[in-house]
Amino acid sequence: MLENSPKQENTPKTGNKRYYYRKKYYQKNRNREDRPSQNIIKVNCKKVSILIPLLNEEESLKPLYAEIVKVIKTINCDYEIIFVDDGSTDKSLEIIKDIAKTDNKVKYISFKKNYGKSAALHFGFKYVTGDSVITMDADLQDDPEEIPNLLLKLDEGFDMVSGWKKLRFDPFIKKYSSRFFNYVTGVMSGIKIHDFNCGLKAYRKPVIENINVYGELHRYIPVLADWKGFLVTEIVVKHHPRRYGKTKFGISRFFKGFVDLITVLFTTRYIRRPMHLFGFLGFFTSLLGFVISGYLTYEKVFFDKPLSNRPLLFLGMLLIIVGVQFFAVGLLGEIMVHNFRNDEEFVIKDKK
Ligand code: UDP
Ligand code: MG
């Protein structure tokens, strides 16, 4: 009907102008429903790899996959989805295999046993072929709708974008302990972001090629990237409550998180100059010990005060011994750094 009135088409009257143009648009686009040309988001990326570490997340995988595909089709770049099955004992692997059969953009790696999220990310990073990489959790807590936003933020010139779950749906204790960890990590590392351990992150390829995520250091990836000289930033991302199953990290996460913070700070800031840390600690500890011992000696020599029954004597001696030990550890560290220098630590920006 609409196409069969060409005369009317040529003379749009003021009243039906809007109708006329809409009709034109409809005629032009009626066969293009599968190409949402209007909503294509342009990003500066040829191929994005979506990397998903997972452990026993059977219920979430299909909805997650469907959601990712829906979102990713609105971006003007090629993609791949890589599931890293971290030794699941439920039906996760079967489900991933089913998905991979129907979609050749889906790949998977399956570990023989549970090696941990850091291992899953580390191995996945080796496997990706995209020039940009997005990591996200498999439990539907991270929202795939954020994928374009992360990529657009990378386009502003950042090497890594970390999600910030500003409005967070996690148990009370986890929410607040994590806030404390994030605060301490921010102060100690000097990186101004609010949420270091968000599963949703975007990276340019060189970042993942140059960081070493082992143990449980996935909590501190922004620190590792920043240390290598990459530009790190954050955007606020949507977060959802866990829909199925339960968290894979128990109460031990608090202790491990704390120990890992020390590891990460030491292996980034002081790894090439251990004496700066231990020498500093040693100097002040033994200085305090010497001051205390000097004071006791002064009293003994000039006022003949007995040294027995003076707990301060033990404190002074202890501080001197501990201070010397700090020094010794620092020196040993320096010897090791001297012998095992590793040029892979440096990221080269350019050379001729
Ligand atoms: N995960 C993993 N290996 C593990 C533990 C967790 O691959 O050893 C995955 C898990 O399946 C999820 C993501 O890492 O996709 C985050 O885990 P979880 O949701 O349990 O952590 P939370 O959100 O409680 O911090
Ligand atoms: Mg989760």
CA–CA distance, 158 with 202 (Å, rounded to integer): 10
**What's the pLDDT at 8?**
44
**What's the pLDDT at 291?**
98
Q: How far is the CA of 236 from the centre of ligand 2 (A)?
A: 17
Ligand number nearest CA of 175 is 1
pTM, whole model, 2 decimals?
0.82
For the record, the structure tokens of 9 come out as 């088409």
**Nearest atom within ligand 1 for CA of residue 139:** 15
**What's the pLDDT at 257?**
86
Residue nearest to atom 16 of ligand 1 (CA): 137
Q: For 248-283, what is the HEC assignment? A: CCCCHHHHHHHHHHHHHHHHHHHCCCHHHHHHHHHH
**Nearest atom within ligand 1 for CA of residue 116:** 8
**What's the pLDDT at 270?**
87
Residue nearest to atom 10 of ligand 1 (CA): 54
Q: What residues flank ligand 1, with Cβ below 6 Å?
A: 53-55, 57, 86, 114, 116-117, 120, 137-139, 141, 199, 247-249
Residue nearest to atom 21 of ligand 1 (CA): 247
CA–CA distance, 45 with 133 (Å, rounded to integer): 10
From first to last of its 352 residues, the chain has per-residue pLDDT tens of 344 444 444 445 555 666 666 666 556 655 544 445 557 999 999 999 999 999 999 999 999 999 999 999 999 999 999 999 999 999 999 999 999 999 999 999 999 999 999 999 999 999 999 999 999 999 999 999 999 999 999 999 999 999 999 999 988 888 888 999 999 999 989 999 999 999 999 999 999 999 999 988 999 999 999 999 999 999 999 999 999 999 999 888 888 888 999 999 888 888 889 999 999 999 999 999 999 999 999 999 999 999 888 999 999 999 999 999 999 999 999 999 888 877 777 888 888 8
Residue ranges with strand state E in the chain? 47-54, 78-85, 106-110, 132-135, 160-164, 201-204, 232-236
Q: How far is the CA of 293 from the centre of ligand 1 (A)?
A: 53
Residue nearest to atom 8 of ligand 1 (CA): 116
**Nearest atom within ligand 1 for CA of residue 115:** 8
Identify whether the C-beta of residue 235 lies closer than 8 Å to the C-beta of residue 149: yes
Q: How far is the CA of 299 from the centre of ligand 2 (A)?
A: 62
Neighbours of ion ligand 2 (CB under 5 A): 137, 139, 141
Q: Longest Cα pair distance anywhere in the chain, in angstroms?
A: 120
CA–CA distance, 242 with 244 (Å, rounded to integer): 6
> What separation in angstroms does the CA of 37 have from each of 40, 287, 348?
6, 71, 39
